[in-house]
């Protein structure tokens, strides 16, 4: 007996049931491919936002800076680390950090000052591409600052307006000056939105009287370097300095991303559970409807393995049809969502654990988005058909043949 | 004529079904021998044990007690797998309701047993075409069961039963679902196979036409053989 030919004909025999079963399986697979691609895209963008806009892959601070973020806890010779890093394919840029007050026409707010090497920072961060109004920093205009969106709203300022900043310099004297708001950022994250004031490193050094050293070096690893491997390599080049991965710096978010990826798998099984019930029902129907045929097959000498093979082949054909249809529908839809995305302008500015959501939610079109839903479908179908298949395989031929 | 070895040998076979606390004897201490080339009908009232007798001979069911041998092999000593192989290789089945595979053509139904035996495709084709011709189905090979009449379907079932040249063909009420003309035609075919090819048939039947044609008529009542009549075989020894 040609099992595949017989299985194929059996599948075509109950066309309506096959249509319903394959449609449901295809639909579930399509939904799961989209879900997987959208969540993967969301997590990718979220991670990318963390890396590109806020933290970078790695951060290096002076040994005691993170415990006591003081203006005085600086890396004295940043080039001694950044030069060998660049030679090894890493990208790196230094930053200066301080806290103080900023006042606009209407109000004042506590702010976080960040002094950047504008050219080098563009190599490790895309924050300069996220200017909502006005323009990014210009080293030729040291009295221009770029501020966070909510801070601008709180201070009641727009590009072109002036703000007064007030803090304490490294010399102990009051650090105060008037700056022009060159730009207002899009939403990039809670901390930056509410308190971020970006200025050139030169302006920072002048304001805070910090002639040398930096507070932070942001490092981006080469594409092929694993995060932990990169951290070890950077640490080897930075004796006495504190090297942290973004996962160390934002453990809650890192764990959220990990658990969200795990949730995709859990979601597969929840959605596919309904499909499993459908498959179980369809295959049980197939066994009961054909109980006499199965009995005759056994009477003619087809063993349990042959019957099991036949039932599994039928389920395999149904699954293959569903996979072809589901993938044929899923990939173009996912492609569309990866290119066009879903417009989230209405909720722009929303953030999760301090990381901003992009205004356009783009799916990820990758093998990793497509294959797990297929694998989960195959696994759940295999589980669902096991009982009816075993029931068919061990059927008593006499009872089956004379079944009424 | 030298004595022939029995193909089927039942010794004190009983089959008991339990219905709650009640024990119902489908077969009671029944002994029987069927020799090669016999054309035997088992008759008796409904519930007398005819179908059970065929089922235990066909290794589809196990007796509660007693011994059954097919070509000398004790079925009681066989496992599921060996019994399955015995059914495939040495026993042909014809059922009252034809029981063909609806998704397979007449040719494929007839071919199935040879295919399960692993016979080469070319040999299979020759054997299948020969038996389909013998049962008068040439030209209808590609038709599926739902495209055949009841008589034609039963002829496919006969072709399926004899194609592998089994030791015995067990036919459970093979004419019960057929009209008179078709039933007679089918009996002609089976009788011809018995006469010309020496196929051993064992029927269970209510049908007087089958009983008339049988060379040996066994009457079973309450699971026991009430009578066992042999008629003179006009075809000579096989």
pLDDT at B1 over 50: no
* B142 falls within a domain: yes
CB atoms within 10 A of CB B167: 17
Cβ–Cβ below 8 Å for A397 and B101: no
As a whole number of angstroms, the distance between CA A253 and CA A2 comes to: 55
CA dist B234 and A27 (Å) reads 69
A171-187 pLDDT, tens digit each = 889 999 999 999 999 88
Find the radius of gyration of the CA atoms of chain A: 31
Point out the domain boundary residue: A249, A284, A311: A249
Which of A6, A300, A304 is closest, CB to CB, to B87? A300
Q: Pick B231 or A309 by higher pLDDT.
A: A309
Question: Checking DSSP bridges between strand B91-94 and strand B168-172, what pairing results, if any?
Answer: parallel
Q: B84 vs A301: CB contact, 8 Å cut-off?
A: yes
Calculate helix-pair angle for B150-162, B121-134, nearest 10 degrees: 130
pLDDT given at position B18 = 87
Rounded CA-CA distance A209/A354 in Å is: 31
Q: What is the pLDDT of residues B203-234, one digit of tens each?
A: 999 888 888 889 999 999 999 999 999 886 65
Query: Which pLDDT value is given to residue A345?
Result: 66
Q: How far apart are CA B147 and CA B106, in angstroms?
A: 10
Do A211 and A355 belong to one domain? no
Query: Both A101 and A201 in a single domain?
Result: yes
| Residue entry with tokens 């040879």 | B114
Residue B88's pLDDT band (boundaries 50, 70, 90)? Answer: very high
Strands A355-356 and A351-352: antiparallel
The pLDDT of residue A189 is: 80
Q: Which of A249, A272, A297 is the last residue of a domain?
A: A249
Per-residue pLDDT at B236? 47
Q: What value does the mean pLDDT of chain A take?
A: 89
- Residue ranges of chain A whose CB lies within 8 Å of a chain B CB: 1-2, 6, 9-10, 13, 292-293, 296-304, 306, 397-398, 401-402
Mark which of A233, A249, A265 sits at the end of a domain.
A249
Look at A292 and B99 and tell me if their CB atoms are within 8 Å.
yes
Cα angle, residue B71 at apex, residues B65 and B75 outer, rounded to 5° = 30
Put simply, the answer to whether A302 touches B101 (Cβ < 8 Å) is: no
CA contacts within 13 A on the Cβ side of A194? 10
| Domain limits for position B220 | 37-61+79-230
B97 contact residues in A (CB cutoff 8 A):
292
Task: Provide the number of structural domains found in chain B.
Answer: 1
Cα–Cα distance for residue pair A46/A256, rounded to 1 Å:
11
pLDDT digits (tens, 9 = 90+) for A342-381: 887 666 556 665 666 667 888 989 888 889 889 988 988 8
Q: Which residue has the higher pLDDT, A262 or A403?
A: A262
Q: Which domain holds residue A366?
A: 3-51+253-401
Q: Which residue has the higher pLDDT, B140 or A351?
A: B140
Q: Tell me, what's the pLDDT at B186?
A: 87
pLDDT at A288: 82
A39, two tokens: 């969540």
Please tell me the distance from the alpha carbon of residue A19 to that of residue A17, in angstroms, as a whole number: 5
Same domain, A257 and A245: no
Token readout for A381 is 């179908």
Q: Is A299 in contact with B103 (Cβ distance < 8 A)?
A: no
Q: Give mean pLDDT, residues B189-197.
A: 88
Q: For testing the chain A interface, which of B84, B96, B167 should be mutated: the one with the most A CBs within 10 Å?
A: B84
Q: How far is CA B167 from CA A344, B68, B116, B133, in A?
A: 77, 14, 17, 21
Please determine, for residue B3, whether its predicted confidence score (pLDDT) is greater than 60.
Answer: no
For A73-87, A345-359, B35-49, B118-132, which range has the lowest pLDDT when averaged over its residues? A345-359
The count of structural domains within chain A is 2
Our measurement of the distance from residue A304's CA atom to the centroid of its chain's CA atoms, rounded to an integer in Å, reads 47
**Cα–Cα distance measured from residue A213 to residue A204, given in angstroms and rounded to the nearest whole number:** 12
Q: Average pLDDT, stretch A211-222? A: 94
Q: Specify the pairing of strand A91-103 against strand A108-116.
A: antiparallel
Reply yes or no on whether the pLDDT at B5 is more than 80: no
Sheet with strand B22-35: strands edge to edge: B22-35, B6-19, B65-70, B73-74
Q: Which of A61-75, A346-360, B106-120 has the lowest mean pLDDT?
A: A346-360
Residues A197 and A338 in one domain: no
Cα angle A130-A132-A138, degrees, rounded to a multiple of 5: 70
Give residue A47's pLDDT: 82
- 3-state SS assignment for residue B170: strand
pLDDT of amino acid B213: 87
Q: What pLDDT does residue A317 have?
A: 94
Do A284 and A365 lie in a common domain?
yes
The CATH number for B118's domain is 3.40.50.300
Question: Which residue in the set B81, B102, B112 is minimally distant from A300, CB to CB?
Answer: B112
């Amino acid at each position: 007996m040609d099992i595949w030919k017989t299985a194929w004909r059996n599948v075509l025999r109950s066309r309506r049931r096959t249509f319903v079963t394959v449609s449901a399986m295809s639909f579930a697979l399509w939904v799961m491919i989209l879900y997987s691609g959208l969540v993967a895209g969301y997590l990718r963008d979220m991670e990318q936002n963390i890396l590109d806009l806020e933290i970078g892959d790695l951060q290096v601070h002076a040994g005691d800076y993170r415990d006591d973020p003081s203006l005085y806890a600086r890396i004295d010779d940043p080039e001694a680390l950044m030069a060998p890093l660049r030679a090894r394919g890493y990208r790196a840029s230094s930053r200066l950090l301080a806290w103080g007050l900023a006042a606009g026409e209407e109000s004042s707010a506590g702010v976080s000052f960040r002094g950047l090497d504008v050219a080098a920072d563009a190599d490790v961060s895309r924050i300069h591409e996220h200017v909502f109004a006005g323009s990014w920093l210009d080293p030729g205009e040291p009295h221009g600052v770029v501020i966070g969106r909510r801070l601008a709203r709180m201070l009641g300022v727009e590009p072109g307006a002036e703000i007064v900043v007030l803090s304490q310099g490294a010399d102990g004297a009051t650090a105060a000056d008037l700056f022009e708001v060159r730009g207002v950022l899009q939403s990039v994250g809670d901390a930056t939105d509410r308190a971020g004031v970006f200025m050139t490193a030169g302006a920072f050094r002048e304001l805070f009287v910090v002639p040398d050293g930096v507070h932070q070096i942001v490092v981006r690893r080469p594409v092929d370097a694993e995060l932990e491997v990169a951290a070890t390599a950077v640490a080897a080049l930075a004796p006495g300095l504190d090297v942290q991965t973004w996962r160390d710096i934002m453990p809650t978010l890192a764990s959220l991303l990990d658990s969200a990826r795990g949730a995709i798998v859990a979601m597969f099984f929840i959605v596919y559970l309904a499909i499993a019930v459908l498959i179980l029902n369809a295959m049980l129907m197939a066994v009961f409807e054909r109980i006499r045929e199965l009995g005759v097959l056994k009477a003619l000498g087809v063993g349990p393995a042959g019957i099991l093979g036949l039932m599994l082949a039928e389920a395999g054909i149904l699954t293959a049809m569903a996979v072809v249809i589901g993938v044929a529908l899923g990939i173009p839809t996912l492609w569309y969502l990866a290119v066009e995305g879903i417009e989230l302008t209405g909720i722009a500015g929303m953030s999760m654990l301090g990381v901003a959501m992009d205004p356009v939610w783009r799916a990820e079109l990758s093998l990793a988005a497509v294959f797990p839903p297929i694998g989960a479908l195959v696994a759940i179908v295999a589980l669902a058909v096991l009982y009816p298949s075993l029931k068919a395989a061990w059927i008593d031929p006499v009872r089956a043949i004379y079944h009424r | 004529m030298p004595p022939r070895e029995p193909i089927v040998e039942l010794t004190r076979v009983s089959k008991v079904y339990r219905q709650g606390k009640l024990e119902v004897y489908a077969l009671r201490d029944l002994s029987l021998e069927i020799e090669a080339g016999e054309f035997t009908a088992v008759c008796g009232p409904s519930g007398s044990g005819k179908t059970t007798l065929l089922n235990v001979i066909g290794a589809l069911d196990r007796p509660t007690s007693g011994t059954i041998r097919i070509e000398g092999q004790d079925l009681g000593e066989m496992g599921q797998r060996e019994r399955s192989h015995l059914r495939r290789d040495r026993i042909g089945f014809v059922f009252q309701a034809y029981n063909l595979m609806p998704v397979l053509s007449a040719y494929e139904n007839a071919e199935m047993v040879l295919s399960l035996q692993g016979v080469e495709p070319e040999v299979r084709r020759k054997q299948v075409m020969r038996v389909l011709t013998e049962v008068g189905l040439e030209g209808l090979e590609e038709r599926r069961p739902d495209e055949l009449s009841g008589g034609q379907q039963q002829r496919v079932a006969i072709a399926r039963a004899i194609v592998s040249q089994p030791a015995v063909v067990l036919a459970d009420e093979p004419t019960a679902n057929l009209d008179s003309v078709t039933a007679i035609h089918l009996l002609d075919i089976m009788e011809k196979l018995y006469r010309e090819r020496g196929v051993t048939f064992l029927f269970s039947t209510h049908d007087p036409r089958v009983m008339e044609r049988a060379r040996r008529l066994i009457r079973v009542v309450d699971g026991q053989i009430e009578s066992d009549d042999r008629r003179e075989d006009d075809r000579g020894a096989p």
